[in-house]
C-alpha cells in the first residue's frame, strides 16, 4: 500500500484557490503583500488574487461584491460570499517562520497561539486585518506535509 503522502486524493490534484472575504482590499493587501511578500496575480475593485506558492492562489474578495453572477466572455461564475473569521494555514519553511515572527511586533500583530506538532512541525497563529485566523505551519504538520 502506498504511503499516505504518496497516495493523493483520488481525482483531486490539490486546492487551487482559497477565498477570504474582507472589508477593505487595500488593508488586506497590505498584510498579505507587504507583510508576507505574496505576489499579486490580479486585482480590481472586487478582488485581489495572490500567489500563495505551489500553484495555490489566495483570493481576497471585497465582502458583498460577489453576491451576483459574474458574466465573462467564457462563461459565468455563480454567486458566493462569506462572513465571520475563518481559518487558513500557509505553508512556510522554518527560516521563513522565524522571519515572519520577527516582523510581527513592528506591524503591531501579536501571536495568538503556538503549537509544536507530534510529527515535528511548528505553527503560529495570528489575525489578519479582518480577524481571519492565519496559521503559518512548517513541514511536519500532516503526513502529507
pLDDT the model gives residue 43: 97
- Do 91 and 71 share a structural domain? no
Beta strands in the chain (DSSP E): 17-22, 39-43, 47-51, 57-62, 70-72, 75-77, 87-91, 113-116, 122-127, 133-137
- Do 97 and 75 share a structural domain? no
- Do 93 and 46 share a structural domain? no
- Do 102 and 60 share a structural domain? no
d(CA 138, CA 109): 20
pLDDT the model gives residue 7: 59
Structurally, the chain folds into a number of domains equal to: 2
d(CA 134, CA 55): 19
134 vs 6, 30, 76, CA distance in Å?
27, 15, 30
pLDDT in tens, the chain (145 residues): 344 445 577 998 889 999 999 999 999 999 999 999 999 999 999 999 999 999 999 999 999 999 999 999 999 999 999 999 999 999 999 999 999 999 999 999 999 999 999 999 999 999 999 999 999 999 999 999 9
The CATH number assigned to the domain holding 106 equals: 3.10.180.10
Cell 511548528 belongs to residue = 122
Read off the pTM.
0.90
Residue 4 within a domain: no
Amino acid at each position: 500500500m502506498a504511503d499516505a503522502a504518496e497516495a493523493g486524493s483520488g481525482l483531486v490534484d490539490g486546492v487551487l484557490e482559497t477565498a477570504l472575504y474582507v472589508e477593505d482590499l487595500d488593508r488586506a493587501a497590505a498584510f498579505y503583500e507587504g507583510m508576507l511578500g505574496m505576489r499579486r496575480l490580479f486585482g480590481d475593485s472586487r478582488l485581489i488574487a495572490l500567489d500563495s506558492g505551489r500553484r495555490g492562489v489566495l483570493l481576497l474578495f471585497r465582502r458583498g461584491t460577489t453576491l451576483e453572477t459574474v458574466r465573462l466572455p467564457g462563461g459565468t461564475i455563480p454567486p458566493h460570499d462569506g462572513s465571520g473569521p475563518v481559518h487558513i494555514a500557509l505553508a512556510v519553511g522554518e527560516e521563513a517562520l522565524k522571519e515572519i515572527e520577527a516582523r510581527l511586533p513592528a506591524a503591531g500583530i501579536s501571536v495568538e497561539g503556538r503549537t509544536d506538532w507530534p510529527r515535528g512541525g511548528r505553527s503560529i497563529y495570528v489575525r489578519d486585518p479582518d480577524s481571519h485566523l492565519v496559521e503559518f505551519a512548517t513541514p511536519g504538520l500532516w503526513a502529507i506535509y
